[in-house]
Structure formats: structure tokens, C-alpha cells
Amino acid sequence: MKELSKTIGSLNLTKVSGHELQNQIPPIVKTIVDSLFDQLAFVFPAWRYTWDTEDKIKGAKKEWVKAFFENEITTKQQISCGLKKARSTDTDFLPSCGKFISWCTPSPEDLGYPTEHQAMKDCIRHRNNQKMFTPANIYIRPFIVELCKNIDWWLINNSSTQIEHKKAEKHFKDEYMDLINSEYQEPEESSHERLETSEIVSERMSPEQVKDRGNRAKECAIDIKRLLAAKKLNKDK
């Protein structure tokens, strides 16, 4: 699969005809597509109902390679994601080329990131924690920390009308997806970065810090409820 990503990525096939496309494809791509088709045949035992002749198999391979380029399916991660979803489907029959391509597009959860909904809650919680006592050894996921830096918090915290709520929600989603699609590499969590319990943290806090923490927690809950209410309102429209 590494060869597929490297070879496809090195070709400029977005503006060529079908005949020109076939002439530009190096032998390694055909070899790797052969391997992909072999794997699909194992996953879908009824594959012969779709590709019942050698001519159909050859024609399908040509179309799949072309479709990969047209839809920018050019990485090992995408192909692996497609095969993973293929193995989880409850059917013996081959998917269409378009269906497999849709499987090759990983969701944020497939990549190990929190959902947009969870990321929103985590960002608001982290934002409020910054304004109160937060021990250095409480673990905050680096992805959330980085995402918080990119958020327009004035827009998030001061939206009151439906239009403003919608704008704030779109802003958060855009920043969330931009970070996921960027070249950002999240550092791996080390063993000493585990989250401590609230009881242990509270033992080291002064009465004033405990009181302030409670107030910030209430504000955090209000912010979350406001954004979730706006999200629900937009869905109902």
C-alpha cells in the first residue's frame, strides 16, 4: 500500500483522457491494484457475480484506478480505511467503485479524534479551566489545546440570535475540520500525563480556589447548554 500512495501521488492525471491515463500508469500501480482486488475477492466471496469474466476484471481495474485519481484517493490511510469498512459490511457482494471510495474517506473518529460534539464540550471545558486553578499534571489532550487556540471565543460566547448561533457553529466546525485535515501531528500521550481525580486536585486547592472552580464549572455548563441548544435549534429548522 505504501507503493500505491507514493506512485499515485507522483502522477498528474487529473486532466488526461482515458487513453492517456492508461499510458501514464506505471506497472507498479497495476500490481498494487491487482493486490487490492485480491483482497476484495477474499472479503466478498460472491465477487464473481460482478466480475464473471477476465475482460470485466480488467475493465474494472482500469476504472477503479481512474476513479481513485478523480476522487483523490491517493494515500495508504485512505485505502486501509476502505478495506477496514469493507471487512465490516454484512454482505457477500462487491461494492460499487463509488461505494468503496466513500469508505476510503475516514471520519474524525476513524482517525482517533473526538467527534465534533465532544470536541466542542472539551474545548469549552478547557477554556474555562484556563481561568481557574488547573494543576500542571492534569492531562488535556493536545488536539483540544491546539483547537482552542484557533477558536474565536468572542464569537462563541457572545452569539445570541439564531444567525449568530449558526455562524458560531459553522466557525467551530470549520476550525475543527481544518485542524484534522492539516499537517498537525498530535503528540503521543505519555504515562505521566494521566488525568488526576477531582478529589486529589481539590485537596491541594484553597477555599477560594474551590469556590472559583465551582463558579467556572457553572459557567462552563451554561456555555455548553447554550451551544447545544443552538445546535438543536438549527437542526429543527
- Extents of the domains making up the chain: 2-103, 116-236
- Give tens-digit pLDDT for 130-140: 665 555 556 78
Does 196 score more than 90 pLDDT?
A: no
Helix, strand, coil percentages (3-state) for the chain, rounded to 5, are 65, 0, 35
pLDDT tier for residue 197 given thresholds of 50, 70 and 90: very low
The answer to whether the predicted template modeling score (pTM) of the entire model surpasses 0.85 is no
Does 207 score more than 80 pLDDT?
A: no
Does 220 score more than 70 pLDDT?
A: no
| Cα–Cα dist 69/90, whole Å | 28
Half-sphere exposure of 28 (CA within 13 A, CB side): 11
State what percent of residues in the chain have pLDDT above 90.
22
Per-residue pLDDT, averaged over 53-63, amounts to 89
Residue 114: predicted pLDDT: 92
- Give tens-digit pLDDT for 93-141: 999 999 999 998 888 888 889 999 999 989 988 887 766 555 555 678 8
